[in-house]
Amino acid sequence: RGCSRSTRVLFHEYSIKAAILIQRWYRRYVAHLEMRRRYTWNIFQSIEYAGEQDQLQLSSFFSFMLDNFTHMNGNGPGNKYLISHLLDSVVDPLTEEVRQLKYEQIVVPESYCGPRLSFPLSVTDTNALLSAFKEEQTLHGKYVLQLLYETKKFLKQMPNIIYLSTSYAKEITICGDLHGRLDDLLLIFYKNGLPSAENPYIFNGDFVDRGKKSTEIIIILFAFLLLYPDHMHLNRGNHEDHIMNLRYGFTREVMQKYKTHGREMLQLLQDVFSLLPLATVIDNKVLIVHGGISDKIDLDFLSTVERHKMLLKYVLFHMVIICLIQVVDILWSDPKNQSGCSPNSFRGGGCYFGPDVTQALLQKHGLCLLIRSHECKQEGYELCHNGQVITIFSASNYYEEGSNRGAYVKLGPELVPRFFQYQVSRSTRKLTLHQRVCVAEGSALRALKEKLYAHRSDLMAAFQQYDIDNTGRISTSEWAQVVESVLRLDLPWRTLRPRLARLGADGNVEYESCFEDISPGEPIPPVTPNLAETLYRYRTDLEIIFNIIDKDHSGQISIEEFRQTWKLFSSHLGVAVNDQTIDDMARSIDFNKDGSIDFNEFLEAFRVVHKLVIKEQQQG
């Protein structure tokens, strides 16, 4: 019996030790996963903001053209033609009455089986739209044009700042960025109910871009806006902008879904977006804006701005920046923990505003809370500045499946925020935490490797400055320093190094190994390696410029337009490319020799592919 007791005691001690070991292992395992999840998040966010920085730098290219096109290649008609294509907005000579009649006379074929809207809209119409979009149906172009026309008429009457009261409803629901994620919007309506007089909503900008269902989202939001004009409210975001839409996908989506009426829709959308209100105030206590504030924001001044002139804010950025800088701050700014207000260099526009700036604005206008969106948060929302600033973001899985939750916030008469989180789940339901982290991490690292490849020449030149003996290797600290100095993404490069580059036998980094997993996707036209790399790096900017030139969205531009565009762009970038090289490149991609270039095929040659992904697909 004594032996049995001592055995039990010994077994108990072993059990405790085993449990402690398992607990320690699990804690290390979870900590390691958390570290990977955090740097994955940092990669996604840094690359996103770098893209927005590129977008604002593109506006400086338009300014450059305005300032310099007369000096480029003389004063020839080619340059003037190009500039007019890029900068002249299309003026529609039709009166409002004629335009309305034109839309009404568009014939809808009997074969069309989607919703048929009648104006003014009814609950039956909004229900039909929701049901149709759940079934992957497309609303006919006639009804989209009519909806946009009616929305434009309505928004013209609206002030810059909307003032609401909770006394007319129990609670008001505020939603953040949706970015073309229709499933998130439908899930919000399922959980929280449809907009109505008893259930008012505020959608705080960035309805479009990035996601594949931006068109459906704005149709639903605009329909509810017309149905419940006193209970459905839309603030403008920084993505409600023509040039942003060219870069981030909304323009392409509209033209793919509406080939016949797409161009006219895009023109109407420019007007509609420029007329969206800039801010909403609840009970004279809660300010809601898309991005944030700055130390220059004055709500009284913002009430007087002619907001529709923001239509030109990027194309003619240097002409309007003085009078509309406050609007740019409203749309682009982010909060920071440090006091003060400084330029938002990471995004390239707006400000970083500290808790003192928030406190000063709230006190000046008798407010108690600022609600903003604009930044993806892992939990869908975040509080900062001692609880005086709330960030709300409603697009779940924004970067990758499982990357983040979405959220919305409800405010009642007591103005105490109540948060509701959700996540649209499909494949991620079947994945473990480890698998979800791996999927997101893989996607982030592929995007990062593309960045490395696009800056290969600059990186190699900087690496070789440290590699005096041409060994192909440098220290880890030197490698990290070079990568940050070239890419400027503010990432933990030492931590990321094992996923990006190999170590040699001597413990130093084989720096060329960070380009091994990437290669050109298509046979490259006859261009020098340096020019090819420039095209890889600025591929998106060129696509935007070509799309602006391509007024009818046919996917083709003339050889002369191609030449002039590239000459201006290469001059702006300071890339030395002679005329003969440009002409040779233009001729090589005029495949059928008709004097036109399919620029989508041309740009496809400058898309990179990931060798490891191809290998996995072949093995799978």
Query: Which residues are annotated as catalytic?
Result: 239
Backbone angles phi, psi at 449, to 5 degrees: -65, -35
Q: Per-residue DSSP letters for 34-85?
A: HHHHHHHHHHHHHHHHHHHHHHHHHHHHHHHHHHHTTTTTTT-HHHHHHHHH
Q: Per-residue DSSP letters for 547-578?
A: HHH-TT--SEEEHHHHHHHHHHHHHHHT----
Assigned token pair, 141: 């172009």
Enumerate residues 6+ apart whose C-beta is below 8 A from 44: 399, 400, 403, 440, 444, 447
Q: What angle do CA 384, 392, 249 make, to 5 degrees?
A: 130
Question: From the CB of residue 466, how many other CB atoms can be counted at a distance below 10 Å?
Answer: 15
Q: What is the distance of C-alpha 66 from the center of its chain?
A: 27
424, 184 Cβ separation under 8 angstroms: yes
Q: Count Cβ atoms within 10 A of the Cβ of residue 312 and give its class: 0-12 exposed, 13-18 middle, 19 or more buried.
A: middle
Q: What angle do CA 429, 434, 435 make, to 5 degrees?
A: 55
Question: From the CB of residue 465, how many other CB atoms can be counted at a distance below 10 Å?
Answer: 11
Q: Per-residue DSSP letters for 251-297?
A: HHHHHHH-TTTHHHHHHHHHHHHHHS-SEEEETTTEEE-SS---TT-
Question: From the CB of residue 509, how many other CB atoms can be counted at a distance below 10 Å?
Answer: 25
Assigned token pair, 72: 């480029």
d(CA 333, CA 344): 7
Beta-bridged to residue 341, according to DSSP, are 353
3-state secondary structure at position 144: helix
214-227 and 123-134 helices, crossing angle to 10°: 170
Assigned token pair, 60: 């400086």
Enumerate residues 6+ apart whose C-beta is below 8 A from 233: 162, 164, 200, 201, 202, 203, 225, 277, 280
570, 563 Cβ separation under 8 angstroms: no
d(CA 206, CA 187): 18
Q: Which residue bears the tokens 């939990």?
A: 379
Assigned token pair, 106: 């568009």
Query: What are the Cα distances from residue 175, in Å, to 122, 358, 483, 551?
Result: 23, 21, 38, 34
